[in-house]
Copies of this chain bind each other. A is one copy, B any other.
């Protein structure tokens, strides 16, 4: 059924899937599985997270049937410079202009760097990231030019690249608005209730309902005409 594995008897190629516990990465992971990849999930705790987000990532990894789930921790609070990793409050008044304070300096570069090392070590043919440029147009590291530049890093800076088989950088959601991501996720039966999008959940892991991530998610489900099973957890 899948395009890349299964029926021919050959083992499925491996993809490292960056899994945050949020909606987008869960849908990206479901896409990778549907494409026939065997999934190695990678969750990076960079000092922003509540336990609930890690737990959400674990549930999604189990649902994906990941053959491995690697959790790495690097505490970016020593770096700071973002509302997600420092004392700057997370805005709850709706999206503003320009690059938001929730931008974490070079975050996707770091996530992709860690995924690249793991992809080399596991001989994976692809890295899957849930970045999308529509809703997060303010984040420079969600743009296609950035992902293309990183693909060149993978080609020039790895053993796999030197041997001519650098892992591909796949961003299946890059052109989808949130509504489209919800629809794609629904078609792939993603367990939305297991995902957590909020930038600032309460200590029990319930979304705040007011940050940009909560607003975008609510709008996306509403536009898709699909009920969000996680919404009733909002405070």
Contacts and interface: CB of A to CB of B under 8 A. Distances in A.
Interface of A: 70-76, 78-82, 99, 103-110, 112-114, 116-121, 140-141, 143, 145-146, 148-150, 152-153, 155-159, 161-162
B117 A81 contact: yes
A135 B146 CA distance: 31
Main SS at interface, chain A: helix
Given A104-B117, A106-B116, A148-B156, 4 more contacts: A74-B114, A80-B121, A109-B113, A112-B113
A162 B140 contact: yes
Contacts of A118: 79, 105
Contacts of A108: 157
Contacts of A117: 76, 79, 81, 104-107, 109-110
